[in-house]
Amino acid sequence: MLAGDGIGPEIMTEARKVLEVVNASQNLGLELDEALVGGAAIDAFGTALPDDTFAKCADAEAILLGAVGGPKWDTLPPADRPEKAGLLEIRKRLDLFGNLRPAILYPQLAGASSLKPELVAGLDILIVRELTGGIYFGQPRGIRELENGEREGYNTYVYNESQIRRIAKVAFELAQKRGGRLCSVDKANVLEVTMLWREVVQDMAKDYPDVELSHMYVDNAAMQLVRAPKQFDVVVTGNMFGDILSDAAAMLTGSIGMLPSASLDVNGRGMYEPCHGSAPDIAGQGIANPLATILSVAMMLRYSCAEPQAAQLIEDAVSRVLDQGLRTADIYSEGCRKVSTSEMGDAVVAALTQG
Ligand code: NAD
Ligand code: IPM
Ligand code: MN
């Protein structure tokens, strides 16, 4: 368990409460351990990913992460910051290339969505984001000085065929298990890297005759997500487009505080984290929504611990708490009861223990 920075420790405390209850009641036998990452690790050890922290991650069956980063560390050199030296480093070193970001609307939250209830009723989208390649990791990158004395920043957007194939395989297989529709999002009208992306994904479609494949440019996909989001079943896309589209999709479900994620390697070992960040604007106030992290625990039990029943118990408990009208500020609407981060965690625990 890597709590990280900002609201990270607050939401992680609640996730841990929930995990401990399920661990005991379902006899999961999980051993929990904690370590520092991100800004908290920089402050304590001078590095965002201490060797000891990485060793624990590499040893673990699964990793649960809160969030990293914040204004305090934003002035560090780019390569030393919590986001790159902590989070991206774990993703890369453990080869966690397959990022699943399910945007599901709990019916109780239809009123909290930024879209009209009829546009989001029954929403269940899965964004499959490539997580260890693309422009986030492409070389060369940097900021250089030009002959005329001005500086130039540059990054490289690159994907090779095997990187595209392995993420597309994850997406095709998940589409087979879900609604049978896969939309690959690219910018193949401009960028060669995504022309190759489209070609490779298209070529793989023949191996999945039961999946209906479509392609969409990312600008249109952003528009379609807020126009008619229910047209999507599974969306597969590269690292940066997936980052952006998943935050947009989050809002359809009421709040970014509701969106969990799984980041998996080829063997299904994974890191689990909410899609949101460390929310420095609300950190320390006890008002952050812990449900994205609690739902990430459920994903962890399902994908890395082979405990789908325990996962379901948590998801059902979250649903019951929403039925009771309990809401953190980000998902609050009139007639509901506003609760703090810890009250929300306690309510999920209560719903779990009351069955
Ligand atoms: P953010 O997701 O932290 O916050 C965006 C907005 O959403 C803020 O107004 C915040 O208060 C709100 N929000 C986020 N999570 C919430 C929750 N659980 N409950 C209620 N409201 C919530 O994004 P940002 O402000 O762009 O980034 C802040 C810091 O977090 C930056 O340092 C960024 O690099 C980092 N970050 C980390 C991760 C991660 O660790 N996985 C992800 C995104 C951003
Ligand atoms: C996310 C975050 C990270 C990303 C940042 C903090 C590096 O925004 O997990 O969505 O861009 O992948
Ligand atoms: Mn993001």
Tell me the mean pLDDT in the region 19-31. 98
Ligand 1 proximity of 257 Cβ (cutoff 6 Å): yes
Per the listing, tokens 């649903």 go with 319
The answer to whether residue 303 scores a pLDDT higher than 80 is yes
CA of 281, closest atom in ligand 1: 11
Q: What's the token pair of residue 114?
A: 């930024």
β-strand pairing of 326-327 with 270-272: unpaired
pLDDT at residue 355 greater than cutoff 80: no
Does the beta carbon of 275 lie inside 6 Å of ligand 2? yes
Asked whether the predicted pLDDT for residue 44 surpasses 80, the reply is yes
Ligand 2, atom 12, residue with closest C-alpha:
243
Task: Tell me the per-residue pLDDT of 269-293, one tens digit each, with 9 for 90 and over.
Answer: 999 999 999 999 999 999 999 999 9
Q: pLDDT tens digits for 142-195? A: 999 999 999 999 999 999 999 999 999 999 999 999 999 999 999 999 999 999
SS3 (DSSP) at 262: strand
pLDDT over threshold 90, residue 65: yes
The answer to whether residue 106 is catalytic is no
Q: Is 189 exposed, middle or buried (0-12, 13-18, 19+ CB in 10 A)?
A: exposed
pLDDT of residue 69: 98
Q: Spell out where 124-204 has E strands.
A: 124-130, 142-145, 151-154, 181-186
Give, for ligand 2, the residue of 88, 256, 271 to mutate: max count of ligand atoms closer than 8 Å to Cβ.
88
Question: Where does the pLDDT of residue 80 fall: very low under 50, low under 70, confident under 90, or very high at 90 and above?
Answer: very high
Q: Which ligand is nearest to the CA of 38?
A: 1
Would you say the CB of residue 262 lies under 6 angstroms from ligand 2? no
Domains of the chain as residue ranges with CATH: 1-97+262-355 (3.40.718.10), 124-252 (3.40.718.10)
Q: How far is CA 12 from CA 31, 255, 296, in A?
A: 16, 18, 11
Kindly report the protein residue whose alpha carbon is nearest to atom 35 of ligand 1.
277
Instruction: Starting from the CA of residue 256, give the closest ligand.
Output: 1
Mark whether 187 is an active-site residue. Answer: yes
Is 154 part of the annotated catalytic residue set?
A: no
Residue 83 in contact with ligand 1 by CB distance below 6 A:
yes
Is 289's C-beta closer than 6 angstroms to any atom of ligand 1? yes
Distance 240 CA to ligand 2 centre (A): 9
Q: Is residue 237 within 8 Å of residue 182, measured between CB atoms?
A: no
The answer to whether the CB of 243 is under 6 A from ligand 2 is: yes
Query: Which amino acids are annotated as binding site for substrate, given as ranges?
Result: 91, 101, 129, 219
Check: CB of residue 83 under 8 Å from CB of residue 69.
yes
Q: Is the pLDDT of residue 268 over 90?
A: no
Q: Report which ligand 1 atom has the smallest distance to the Cα of 69.
A: 32
Which amino acid belongs to residue 41?
A: A
pLDDT over threshold 80, residue 46 = yes
Give the model confidence (pLDDT) of 84-96 as tens digits: 999 999 999 999 9
Residue 256 Cβ < 6 Å to ligand 1? yes
The atom of ligand 2 lying closest to the CA of 69 is: 6
Nearest ligand by distance to the CA of 277: 1
Does the pTM surpass 0.80? The reply is yes
Choose the catalytic residue: 186, 243, 330, 332. 243
Q: Per-residue pLDDT tens for 238-259?
A: 999 999 999 999 999 999 999 9
